[in-house]
Amino acid sequence: MGLPPTQVWTREQVAARILAGDSVFVLNGNLVRVPASWLSLHPGGNLSILHFVGRDATDEIGAFHSQETLQRMKGYVIGQVDVGEDGWAPFVPPIATGWVRRNGKDGKTEWYNEARAVHATTEAEPSILLVKGDGTPPAGPAPTLADLQPAPNSLSLKNEKLNSDAYQELHRRVKDAGLYQCRYITGYGPEIVRYTLLAVLSAVCYSKGWLIPSALLLGLFWQQLTFTAHDLGHVGVTHNWTLDRLISIFIADFLGGLSIGWWVNNHNVHHLVPNHPTHDPDIQHLPFFAISPVFLRSLWSSYYKREMTFDAPAKFFISLQHKLFYVVLSLARFNLYALSYGYLFKTAFEPKKARGGRWWWWAEVFALGLFFTWYGAVLKGCGSWKNILVYLLVSHIAASPVHVQIVLSHFSRSTVDLGPVESFFARQLRTTVDVICSESIEFIHGGLHLQVTHHLFPRLPRHNLRQASLIVKEYAKERGLEYAEFGFADGNAEVRGVLKEVADQIKIIGMVADSEVKEAMKG
């Protein structure tokens, strides 16, 4: 591979390329241009790229990609930029203000404004997207330079550059400690024994007609398998995309009935824009949950491409969300089915070469067909409809503790948007929290109770997170950044407290509305 182009792009020239429709970002002082054709080919989904247009994505790309992939990226370099001592002054990606590229009537790609941007008036609020059609004048035919300019805030570009430098030094230390080496025997060995034991015991109980114990063990089997499927989705086991994807299809699709392709697409976006009400799909749960009052404004989801409407059903559920928390999460697996199959239906019409070829899509569909064959036979063998319903519910509810664990790591954390200036290191620490537990029982959490460290190093093998977390805490303390953690019971209480605060907002809104009606009637 030859040397990268030597042209030095000014900030104004970079802005012009973005407004012309190019997807460009900064990587180690180089300007990288992603061809439009590659956006649909990217294994992590196109949003993973679009959220970093005009920004320095060095830390994020280093966290999510292997050295081999980083070498291949050099082929997309179109020149350099002047980063300066304080770092690259980032632009706001067009998608953050509702601008996307799509095919027009003439077949040519053009700008389209899918939602209206509402900028925060204070730093305690997030910038959000709302649906159009509320009487506001339409945006122009394309974004302008003003749309790319970050709103002023108290963050120092120089300080965030220091945070970035600290993260890169931290990452080097984690690599030098050999923590990217997967522990196949001591790590996954005991897990495979545990999976096998749960599956065998479930089958034995089923053969003896002990349906509830069988269903309970099957649900625990699914719950434990989730952690390995998660590792494979991050290419953190063999570190080979094709091999990890094949194994994950076997585990997630065939054994669990869920699409690993959907999960990867969803989860990568969550990692890159954690806790952003408009952009993070992992906190977009209307009509059942809202972790911030901004969800009461019917936000636009840039991931789901639809309005998250705060309607009558949402008002009912959100007003009781702190009471229904465990009930809703106990049935969350059924929602994952809907999301999985919706994703596969949508991606059925992608180009044949998308995401490493179409084999993964056919493999997932085939594996899911096998899942419904064996699980359907299990349900049919239960006999009566009552037994079938009991087995179905118990097996799914038993798998739900993983959902509680995942939301603990984010629901109580900040949903504020500090803009593109904030460093990767600071953003992950601000929006994520660890669950403290003894090393002897961390297998219950699958090791993912150490979410802060996992968010900083998503490809890091799960069994090395505890050792890596000690290094992260040291660096966070040096930079004056909070490394948040709480116990499981305290975490549950804190999350339910956040949910209750939002539920109380609905009551306040109702009281204000009633007061206004009474005043109007008196008038």
> In this structure, what CATH number is given to the domain that contains residue 34?
3.10.120.10
Domain-embedded: residue 492? no
299 phi, psi to nearest 5 deg: -70, 160
Residue 519 has pLDDT above 70, yes or no: no
Q: What percentage of residues in the chain have a pLDDT greater than 70?
A: 93
Q: Are residues 379 and 401 in the same domain?
A: yes
The number of domains in the chain is 3
| Token duo for residue 165 | 């430098």
139 falls in which pLDDT band (50, 70, 90)? Answer: low
Do residue 203 and residue 341 come from a single domain? yes
Given 405, 435, 469, the domain boundary residue is 405
Which pLDDT does position 517 carry in this prediction? 44
The half-sphere exposure of 444 on its side-chain side, counting CA atoms within 13 A, is 12
pLDDT for the residue numbered 516: 46
Residue 263 shares a structural domain with residue 393: yes
On whether residue 163 sits in a domain, the answer given is no
Among 204-208, 491-495, 519-523, name the one with the lowest average pLDDT.
519-523
Which of 38-63 are b and which e, b meaning 16 or more Cβ less than 10 Å from the residue's Cβ?
Answer: ebebbbbbbbbbbbbbbbbbbbbbbb
Contacts 24+ apart (CB under 8 A), 453-456: 455/271, 455/274, 455/428, 456/63, 456/167, 456/170, 456/424, 456/425, 456/428, 456/429
Pair (453, 472) in one structural domain: yes
The yes-or-no verdict on residue 201 having pLDDT over 50 is: yes
Residue 99: pLDDT over 60: yes
Does residue 88 sit in the same domain as residue 198? no
Residue 382: CA atoms inside 13 Å, Cβ hemisphere, count?
23
Asked whether residue 393 falls in the same domain as residue 308, the answer is yes
154 within domain boundaries: no
Flag whether 155 is in a domain. no
Domain coverage including residue 472: 168-179+418-483
**Are 383 and 302 found together in one domain?**
yes
pLDDT of 411: 94
Residue 119 scores a pLDDT above 90: no
The pLDDT of residue 136 is 61
359 and 260 in a common domain? yes
Length of the chain: 523
Write down the pLDDT at residue 45: 86
Are 10 and 62 contained in the same domain?
Answer: yes
Residue in the structure block whose two tokens are 């949910």: 499
Asked whether residue 367 falls in the same domain as residue 399, the answer is yes
* pLDDT given at position 135: 52
Q: Which two tokens stand for residue 357?
A: 């070829």
Average the pLDDT over each of 144-158, 200-214, 269-283, 353-367 and give the range with the smallest value.
353-367
| Residue 426 forms part of a structural domain | yes
Whether the predicted pLDDT of 112 surpasses 60: yes
Does 468 reside within a domain?
yes
> Which residues does residue 116 pair with via DSSP β-bridges, in sequence order?
130
Q: Is residue 245 part of a domain?
A: yes
Residue 517, classified by CB atoms within 10 Å of its CB into exposed (0-12), middle (13-18) or buried (19+), is exposed
Q: Which residues of 142-175 are buried (b: 16+ CB within 10 A; e: fewer)?
A: ebeeebbebeeeebebebbbebbebbbebbeebe
Question: Distance between CA 300 and CA 32 in Å, rounded?
Answer: 29
Quick: pLDDT tens for 321-330. Answer: 999 999 999 9
Tell me: the pLDDT tens digits for 30-53? 999 999 888 878 888 899 999 999
Instruction: List the beta bridge partners of residue 300.
Output: 307
- Is 121 in the same domain as 96? yes
Give the per-residue pLDDT at 349: 75
Residues 127 and 204 in one domain: no
Q: Is residue 383 part of a domain?
A: yes
Q: What's the mean pLDDT when you consider all of the chain?
A: 89
**pTM (predicted TM-score):** 0.91
